Structure 1
């Protein structure tokens, strides 16, 4: 770089052609799109075969981010990349980034690190990554990792997202850790898939937690660990599939706890497939599918209105009801078959299958 090539006028001469193109695009306020237009060739799953014309070094992204907004403009322009292969390790540990970062439909050679970083916004939609390390990450607006693939673990313990976090349709091959995190908005996990343990222990979510259509698979072990979870909105899990144990012990839900058309199976050796011990919500809907099997614990749970499915309750499921209380027991208005007294008592009698203590009078009172 000559004395006239300042960072705000020309990109560093030693940068590659796509990296210089990124510099130009960033300073012009537009994204750098390296896609070919061929969906098969642009699939990030094939990113290891992409040519060097699509390579961007992680250190170049870090340099542009740490430099802050281009001084040539008054508006803080985001750094936006589409369809790139990010080589090297993107390490933004403890960094304060004053511009939004958006890397979409790209692949990362190495696990990016955002530990203790303070970001405006982070968008990794459609990306393939070996993992994500983001302990104590702070995001002041929005976090998006939609339709992506994380081959290993996604670690985001003790994070704080002031807006909404959206991981819809993303697959995590290992563990997903969001324990002790705070969401100023909602947490969207619709269509989300996890091949290890999904950990939401002691999370605080100001909006809704949406797990509709999600698949959590850790057979014979804990698939969903969400004890101490607090959701100010509703817990929505229509069509959720859990292979393993779902632990919602002590969960506090401000709206509706909706476990409707959920498939629960392959619990650990204890047999517990769903733990709602001491859970509380103004309204709870519990309607497992016919293919569900295992033991459900409602011990010491309390719901204002409890909507269940006595008629369609799976034969291979039993329930622990000791200390379980509710203010009103009801059914869906759309139910064409409504339980009679005998069917209700038969369902309540299932508690003897779930606890060695035998009969408990509380659910009858």
Structure 2
């Protein structure tokens, strides 16, 4: 076994192999040791087990350099940088305090790499092949695993990474456990990150998460494969992502935007939402996703600044207690589309809050007439839940004044009935109650006297209709009361809301 040289002996141990002795010199200079052949097929780390001794470096040698290595050459900074090497044996750096950069570029590891509870400068594993990575509670400025291949699992829970964790185009056969992970800048898993089982970022605190075009859960698994309960981040990008069984972001705090457009969730149970966004907070949420890919999204209790969705052909949404400031697309005269959207998402269940929220979104844009139309639709939906006797009164309020949101409709009824009464009483004039006394008969004023319950023009008392004409007058009086009471009830409701 190699032993550390004496301070005055700055040469590598004699029993080290040629590549290990070269690594010693490169370490002291902070330079890259390149053991590649230059032939792409021969330099693929996946086939590293076939590499000869001229490319093999013992894990023990690497540990000795990192933990108890020689000083840097004058004017140089120590660093362990190697490319195209086969690391033999288990490299266990658990709880190590390492004061230099670690860079394994396109290297092949025969056994797992452990950085558990270690403290180090940046760690680079780009393009390397590892059986497994154990880096729980790692403390370092950055971890770069671009294009890396990990046959098993990646454990990074509880780690504190000052800058970025980069997994672009990486392939992980098992899972990535990033619970309680802290990243100052970005968690990057873009452009083809492949994870066989699942990715968990529960309770993590990350500057930004970028999972565009990632493929998660393609191996045999039965659980939801992207879980980020209580995640806190500024940005969550997952457009064009492909996930098995479901995505969970319940309770996440996203200070900027969350983008799930064109997400594909396959294999999710038919009785459960494909994407759970319950009680999340996001400044902007984009779920412009086709239903063929993502059938349903739960937004129960979510608080969204701007919600971007697909009202026609998009996923079914669970909208109970969802609040949003703006809804897009929401152009003028889109009420029919959005009401159909509400009806479909509510699946026949009456919930007043989604209607109120949609009406508020129209008001923010200044479309008050469309907001009133939404509120009328809310009351009509509510009518379907009422007993038959109550439905009649509710229907009258709708027909007469649109529940108070269309007072002009009551005016239209009044004009129509006034014209009808004027025509009838012009043809058949009522008899005077006291011959020779009272005002001259005016069919229009007489009709208004019958229709308006409170106002008295003196015509109703001065003239008495006979036989069938009397029943017509009774109908006008009854309709006048219905007009007045339904209009007052509707206006009271509307003014009470204001």
| Residue 168 (str. 1) matches residue 168 (str. 2) | yes
1:314-339: CA deviation from partner (whole Å, max 9, x where unpaired): xxx4221111110111239xxxx999
Q: Distance in 2 between matches of 1:57 and 1:221?
A: 39
Output one character per residue of 1:140-167: Cα deviation in whole Å (capped at 9) or x when no partner: x211011011111101111000111111
- The answer to whether the 8 Å contact 1:180/1:202 transfers is yes
Among 222, 225, 240, the residue aligned to 1:223: 225
Q: Which residue of 1 aligns with 2:84?
A: 83
1:263 equivalent in structure 2: 264
CA spacing shift, 1:14–1:326, aligned 2, 3 Å: same
Residues 232-271 of structure 1 show CA distances to partners (whole Å, capped at 9, x for unaligned) of x211112111111100000000111111121122114643
Cα distance, 1:65 vs structure 2: 0.5
Q: For the residues of structure 2 that align with 1:239 and 1:3, how far apart are their CA atoms?
A: 52
User: Displacement, 1:4?
Assistant: 9.1
Moved more, 125-134 or 26-35: 26-35
The alignment partner of 1:311 has SS state of coil
**Quick check: 1:266–1:293 contact (8 Å CA) kept in 2?**
no
2:446 equivalent in structure 1: none
Query: Counterparts of 2:47 and 2:152 in 1: how far apart (Å)?
Result: 17
Change (3 A) 1:196 1:360: same
Aligned 8 A contact 2:5 2:12 in 1: no
| Cα gap change, 1:4 to 1:145, in 2 (>3 Å) | closer
Say if 1:221 and 1:268, in contact at 8 Å, map to a contact too: no
Q: Is 1:318 aligned to 2:320, yes or no?
A: no
- Segments of structure 1 that go 5 or more residues without pairing to the other structure are none
Q: Distance in 2 between matches of 1:106 and 1:99?
A: 19
Residue in structure 1 matched with residue 476 of structure 2 by the alignment: none
Aligned CA distance change for structure 1 residues 76 and 251 (closer, same or farther; 3 Å):
same
Describe the shift of the 1:339–1:173 C-alpha distance in structure 2 as closer, same or farther (beyond 3 A): farther
* Residues 1:61 and 1:303: Cα distance change in structure 2 (over 3 Å): same
Equivalence for 1:347: 341
Q: What residue is the counterpart of 2:153 in the other structure?
A: 153
1:105-144 paired onto structure 2 within 5 Å: 105-139=106-140, 141-144=141-144
SS in 2 for 1:45: helix
**Structure 2 equivalent of residue 362 of structure 1:** 353
Aligned-residue offset at 1:280: 0.7
Tell me the CA shift for residue 364 of structure 1. 1.4
Conservation of the 8 A alpha-carbon contact between 1:310 and 1:339? no
Distance in 1 (alpha carbons) for counterparts of 2:335 and 2:189: 38
| Greater percentage in helix | 2
1:327 partner SS? strand
**d(CA) in 2 for partners of 1:61 and 1:198?**
30
Q: For residue 349 of structure 1, report the CA deviation from its aligned partner.
A: 2.2
- What TM-score, normalized by structure 1, do the two folds share? 0.91
State how 1:42-121 maps to structure 2 within 5 Å. Answer: 42-67=43-68, 70-121=71-122
Tell me if the contact between 1:271 and 1:294 (Cα under 8 Å) persists in the aligned partners. Answer: no
User: What is aligned with 1:193?
Assistant: 194
Would the alpha carbon gap of residues 2 and 99 (structure 1) be closer, same or farther in structure 2, given more than 3 Å must change? closer
Tell me, yes or no, if the aligned pair for 2:187 and 2:210 is still in contact at 8 Å: yes
Per-residue deviation, 1:193: 1.4
**Which among 328, 331, 336 is matched to residue 329 of structure 2?**
331
Structure 1 residues 96 and 308, CA gap change in structure 2 (3 angstroms): same
Partners in 1 of 2:216 and 2:246 — Cα distance? 10
Question: Normalized per residue, which structure has more strand?
Answer: 1
Contact 1:8 1:71 survives alignment (8 Å): no
Displacement of 1:28 after TM fit? 2.7
Distance 1:58 1:268, change over 3 A: farther
Equivalents in 1 of 2:333, 2:119: separation in Å? 54
Structure 1 range deviating more: 268-277 or 208-217: 268-277
Match of 2:376 in 1: none
* Bigger Cα Rg: 2
Summarize the alignment of residues 201-220 of structure 1 with structure 2, pairs less than 5 Å apart.
Answer: 201-205=202-206, 207-217=207-217, 220=222
Determine the structure 2 residue equivalent to 1:303.
304
Q: Is the 8 A contact 1:154 1:176 kept in 2?
A: yes
TM-score computed with the length of structure 2 as normaliser: 0.67
**Compared with structure 1, are the counterparts of its residues 186 and 174 closer, same or farther at alpha carbon in structure 2 (3 Å cutoff)?**
same
Q: Considering only aligned residues, what root-mean-square deviation do their CA atoms show, in Å?
A: 2.3
